[in-house]
Amino acid sequence: MINLISDTVTKPTPQMLDFMMKAEVGDDVFGQDPTINELESYVAEMFGKEKAIFCPSGTMTNQIAIKCHTQPLDEVICDHYSHVYQYETGGYAFNSGVAVNLIQGTNGKITAEQIEAAIKPVYDWLPISKLVVLENSCNKGGGSYYTLDEIRPITTLCKDRGLKLHLDGARLFNVLVETGENTVDIGNHFDSVSICISKGLGAPVGSLLIGDADLIKQARRYRKVMGGGMRQAGYLAAACLFALKNQRTRLKIDNDKAKEIGLLLEKQPYVKVVRPVKTNIVIFDLADGQKADPFLEKLKSKGILATAFGPETVRFVTHLDYTDEMHVEVMNVLKRM
Ligand SMILES: *Cc1c(COP(=O)(O)O)cnc(C)c1O
């Protein structure tokens, strides 16, 4: 089977497993796992920030960030497609007691003007606007991305208005291979950044939250109370170090394959519209009258797995384990659907 369900389906390569096996480990709840400490320093420095914290998932790093930046009865401003709103089980309300103020952006992207218009005045009967969350790339937006030129006015607005700015950068590295921008510049524009190493980068587990020392000190307490304090997890951190050092620049290959799939789909009669393919995600609507489920069944019978993103919407995600041979096969199948 060719699995295009997500870029989380990758398995560690023999080289990665070998590197993991050789990791030096200790009890990270006591701060004594040398490999986790190395990963946290490496990533903090990569983004020009003081500290980072290793967590089991990107949901946890986002939830901890929201918790650190807000008080109950505050609100988070984000696009209506945001992962923090759509796919984290409503955790913003459960963990932080905050509301969301949703913006209808364009393919998951919002502007400084939209954010400014969404900031609430201060009245007893309104939640207090406290945090803005941007997602880069934006999953439900079809892998759309912000450039630094688009982020800059948002950073300025947040500074002027006393709002915190968090980046959900689960797939940030797929963006940076497109824009050529660097991680320190990204870090400079946000109060906190979350990255996932278990997506396109190909580690089995692991996300990091990056920020200043005070924020990460607080984050360590919240990680513990959420049940995310791990012990000899240096084996996992080793996989993340391996992925960051060896599997980063190749993300361009995944993006290019996704773009080829997008171009092919645009020409197919069974496709109504393909969201602009900017990174490694392809989202398209089927032509009128066609449903995603039977389409996915047919694809499956031809050896390809993908996922529905709405009743008539399909998503493909390319990744490390999606080979050139598989790509040829997928292109052939899609021409004949
Ligand atoms: C995958 C993802 C996350 C985190 O997901 P986990 O499965 O909890 O690691 C966060 N934000 C975005 C945009 C994602 O795509």
Q: What is the pLDDT of residue 219?
A: 98
For 294, phi then psi, to 5°, come to -65, -35
Q: And the tokens for 289?
A: 């009258």
CA-to-CA separations, 255 to 15, 201, 266, in angstroms, rounded: 23, 12, 17
Domain boundaries 2-6+250-336, CATH class: alpha beta
Which residue has a Cα nearest atom 14 of ligand 1? 170
69 vs 162: CA distance, rounded Å = 11
* Lookup: tokens for 260: 């080829």
Instruction: Give the rounded distance of the alpha carbon of 108 from its chain centre.
Output: 12
Three-class DSSP category at 133: strand
pLDDT of residue 309: 94
Pocket residue to mutate for ligand 1, from 199, 307, 319, most atoms within 8 A of Cβ: 199
Which CATH architecture is the domain 12-246 placed in? 3-Layer(aba) Sandwich (3.40)
Q: CA 110, CA 130: separation in Å to the nearest integer?
A: 16
- Within 8 A by CB and 6+ apart from 214, the residues are none
Ligand 1 atom, smallest distance to 62 CA? 10
pLDDT the model gives residue 323? 98
Kindly give the number of the ligand 1 atom that is closest to the alpha carbon of 137: 13
Rama region for 295: left / alpha / beta (φ>0; ψ in -120 to 50; rest): alpha
State the virtual CA torsion across 229, 235, 237, 239 in degrees, nearest 10: -140
Pocket of ligand 1 (CB under 6 A): 57-59, 62, 83, 135, 139, 168, 170-171, 196, 198-199, 207
Shortest-distance Cα residue to atom 6 of ligand 1:
58
Residue identified by tokens 């998503």 is 315
In angstroms, how far is CA 239 from the centroid of its own chain? 18
Q: Are 96 and 127 a contacting pair, CB within 8 Å? A: no
- Every domain of the chain and the residues it spans: 2-6+250-336, 12-246
Q: State how far the Cα of 337 lies from the Cα of 298, in Å rounded to an integer.
A: 8
Amino acid 124: pLDDT:
97
Residue 69: its pLDDT value, please? 98
248-285: per-residue pLDDT in tens? Answer: 999 999 999 999 999 999 999 999 999 999 999 999 99
The pLDDT value given to residue 5: 98
Record the tokens describing residue 305, joined without a space: 């797995």
| d(C-alpha 213, C-alpha 260), whole Å | 43
Q: Is 233 helix (H, G, I), strand (E, B) or coil?
A: coil
With beta carbons less than 8 A apart as the criterion, state whether 296 and 288 touch: no
In this prediction, residue 259 carries a pLDDT of 98
Weakly modelled stretches of the chain, pLDDT under 70? none
Distance CA 117, CA 218 (A): 31
Q: pLDDT at position 319, please?
A: 98
Q: Cis bond leading into 207, ω under 30°?
A: no
Q: Can you tell me which atom of ligand 1 is nearest the CA of 135? A: 13
